[in-house]
Structure 1
Amino acid sequence: MTMGVDGVLARIQQLRSELGIASAPSTGPAAVTGDGSFAQALAGASGAGAAPARSASGGVTGPDVVAAAKKYLGVPYVFGGTDPSRGLDCSGLVQRAYADLGVHLPRLADQQATVGQPVASLADAQPGDILAFGSPVHHVGIYLGNNKMIAAPKPGDHVKIEKVYETPTHIRRIVNGLADAAAHAIGTPRPAALQSSAALAGVPYANLFVQAGSKYGVSPKLLAAVAKVESGYNPRAVSGAGAQGLMQLMPGTARGLGVTDAFDPAQAIDGGARLLARNLREFHSLPLAIAAYNAGGGAVHRYGGIPPFAETQAYVPKVQRALAELGG
């Protein structure tokens, strides 16, 4: 089956996102009025407008995120939309604004509500933070400050600035969490504050944890904590049950994750990050995601929580302690 032009462009965009390369939004012959100009948004995205201000050291800041999102004011809401020339939905807007700054986020709202670092309350929120609503999460927006956010609200509406109409169920700070990981992965200099927030100085394979964390939307600190508990950062480790490598993947699990050599640190960490990202999406809980890494997702579902296995019961707090030691 041949792939049309739109399909080719979509595939290029997907590959660029997977590699952590920011791509300019697609353009098209459209203009939408409202809280902003669709045509102006496209012009800015293609380079005709001014680039958002960056910090002196080149790191992504909250105001950068706000400026990137404001380029899409007036773009119509389209369910499932990721192309601003045709329309965006709420998570499509959030993903696009961050992607324009070189930060790759997961596609869906409930996934975006798990990345980065948690913020305790709206009073603690800063511009650029992701606000998520509902349980399960059904809507996201980008906080602007002063109890306002930019979002793509609903069908028949468009990207606009509005009041934060209810208390968010999740608030996530990306520029102090995932953003520094993505910046490191593509070689962008990071501010000293962001470097220290990663808390991976002196950790073996730190760059691989950062790269895989950015790719799959998982905290690099969590990946490092799992590796510490699983293997003590030993890429040649083999368990009595046959789990292999830095992330202690069983051969069958490794194959399912696309890992051909579990003793290769880069492949092992990539596979472990993919598995943890899947667990976090499935269970919406860090302890349950960790438990599923050890005992399998089926066991977590079967027991409705952390399985009553001595190994798993001890494993979850071990990983949580290791994560806390890394500042996670």
Structure 2
Amino acid sequence: MSVTAVSSRVAEIQAVLSQLGAGRTTSAAAGAAFRSTLDGALATAGAPAASAATGSAPSLTTPATGTGGARVVAEAEKYLGVPYVWGGTDPNKGLDCSGLVQLVYRNLGIDLPRVSRDQAQAGQAVPSLAQAQPGDLLAFNSPVSHIGIYIGDGKMIEAPRPGLSVRVADVTDTPTAIRRVLPAEAASASGAGPVSGRATAVPYADLFNRAAATYGVDAGLLSAIARQESGFRPDAVSPAGAQGLMQLMPATARGLGVGDPFDPSQAVDGAARLMRDLLDRFGRTDHALAAYNAGPGAVLRYGGIPPYPETQNYVRSVMAMVGGAA
């Protein structure tokens, strides 16, 4: 997702959070309960279930091979609008700057220290902001008392101070330290251009290209879904139970005739058939992606992409990878 797109969505996300009313925990729980009920009703029809409060992100215990800077930024975006709370580590209650950083990286399987001064010692040093990449940590003051996640173009995502919420902000001060904590191969992959057309130079490219030829679904789109869903991990399992490279729920896999969703060949074939059906049904790639993430019923209910932050983030991220506008 581009920095411009991030900035333009901040107000929208905050408005959605406001409309959910007082009590973020209650609203989130109610939304999750509704989606769980809806997805259960749709499961026999092969509709995929949204993966609880973390979207389609798999539950990782080690750093994902495909965890690049773009994925770090996408994970951080999920918490835009969460209020600042000193010492906060629970997004349902509030986050402080280092709590946000630790949570984002923990969700991607990378353990960081709890406080900003220690986080500013993690990983490898980056000499200057000009050499920083999305996903790098920017630390400020001496001793360090604030930290954020760089997203490119001179901007970062931060939990700023009491009275404000997690936001996108310009980097106006010179960082005291810039640290790269991503594995080297992941950091270098983060600068790759959009995935589009024929899948090349990505894991399982042959499977995506074969499915594209069979079902008429863009191979770049299938590759982008796999990148967003599992980081190209065939063994990924989400908190909600979605499985494999394409994160198919067990009921969805059965409905598609996928005997083993952990088998990349079966998973890609099933996901391609599912996307073909969703594209034919909704006639738009962004609506089909929303249905892949949240279920067709949610798209029908709202007449388009539903107002779930996880689903909106999912659609924007995948569309950005294929070079489209969501």
TM-score (norm 2): 0.41
Of the two, which has the highest radius of gyration? 1
More RCO (CA 8 Å, sep 6+): 2
